[in-house]
Structure 1
Amino acid sequence: MPKEKNFNPVQAARKAEKAKTIKKGKAEVAARRNERLAKRNPERIKKQIDDLKAITDGGGKLTRHEEETLQGLEKELKAIVKAREALGDKAPTFGRGPPREGGHDRGVLGKRRRDADDASSSDSDIPEDVKSIPMPRDTPPPIPKEILDKWYSKRREKREEKREEKRNANLEPLGDRRGFEQKPTPPAEPKTVYEAAPVVRDLRKEAVTAFTPTVVKMKIQKTKGEGGLMEPEEADQLERAGYLKSREEPSQSPPADTAGASSGGPHKVTLEEVEEDDG
């Protein structure tokens, strides 16, 4: 067979290796899927299918959800059967296994019979007084509800008594006052006091401030140095009108001679020039 001109052996080897890897991955996925499906119990799924079919056989009608569930269970059962056939002898078994040694079959996981032979202990190690104690062969029966209710009620009463004792211990006074009952003081009743004190008003002042003309207000502001300066004549006019208080007369200053004498400062001499007559 003639070789192709564009044949690349390296590329062909890569394609073959890639196809081999893909095939191996698919086989592993299928094996894991079969192993997962084989762990499911087909008998349980068959029972569910039979229960749904019994409804239709009895003349009933399945709902839409039940029909979808039935189809899913049938499809799942086929996949489980196919997976178990693919595994063959490796498929796990369900149900009871062969009887164990001693003629006892442990059908329930985690249960241990009291009369089973225990290899780790022997009867010779157990004292006689312990052997004579009867042991229950199974779990004891449940305690009746009436007895449990009585027990719980007594338990609650004891707890309440302890709580009351703690409260009384906190309320008991310390020192010399111990033993005397403290009478609770009644809360003070709130009292409402209504008071009507006379309101003293200076109507003259209110009249002056309320009915002062705008021009006069501007002049009063001028006396305070706001908005300009006011002439003395305007101030006198406001005093006569009663808007300003009368200015106090300045105190008379003492004479210069008395002031100079009284003061302990140095004396000053003044010289006057006198014109001489030519006669």
Structure 2
Amino acid sequence: MAKERNYNPVQAQHKADKAKAIKKGKSEQQTRRNEKLAQRNPGRIQQQIDDLKALKDGGRKLNTHEEQALEALEKDLKAVKKAREALGDKAPQFGHGHGPPRHGQRGDGVLGKRRRDAEDASGSDSDVPADVKSIPMPRDTPPPISKEILDEWYAKRRAKRDAERASEAEQRQDSEKPAAPVVEAKTVYEAKPVVRDLQKEAVSAFMPSAVRTKIEKGKGQGGLLEPEEADQLEKEGYLRAPEAMRLQPEQMEPRQDAGTRRVMMEEVDDEEG
């Protein structure tokens, strides 16, 4: 009872279908393998085996490569025969060990052009209508061309070739002609010297902080500038003479915001020691 309860018919059907598909795939694979092996000519394989065995029977010792080739050929021959037996009548037939007839090859294995005699023998004239039989067959060689036509054709060809050569010569002469000189446009560039005052640039660009502080004092910022300092700045080139003269009177004038100062003096008696 427990076994019947665990039985799943859908799962069993899936397993059966899977096994059937695997079996079918193996069968198709074996069929393809047999068809591929049946394409090989067993007579040719047997001929190669006989050649190697003849060398061995003649007293020559086969090397390793030839022995391996002999074993492989014997295995292939067994597989080919087995595949042809499995296919039966579907197996391709080979004539006298030369394989199936190729394109343009006759049934006897000889290459060559097909003859009309063979075609006439294979076909019957009873199927051909009477009006078709009355049509003459073309000859194997074309009719000869008259000399006048050939001379005319050669004359046209010669004239065409001469015209092409003349046109090529004209083109070559045109290409060899010297080209006209090209007039180049010339432009003259002129640069004048730039006059620079290096001393002025040096003073304005490189100014020590002490000198800048003194100049600010001369303008009334951060203190007063002494006359000696103004003379030194003028000598060094940091101040011009009118500017120095303008700064000195300003320094001489008393400041408006300065208040009056009173000084009180006291007399102190010296103490006698």
TM bracket, shorter-chain basis: 0.3 to 0.5
TM-score, L = length of structure 1:
0.42
TM-score, L = length of structure 2:
0.43
Which has the larger helix fraction?
A: 2
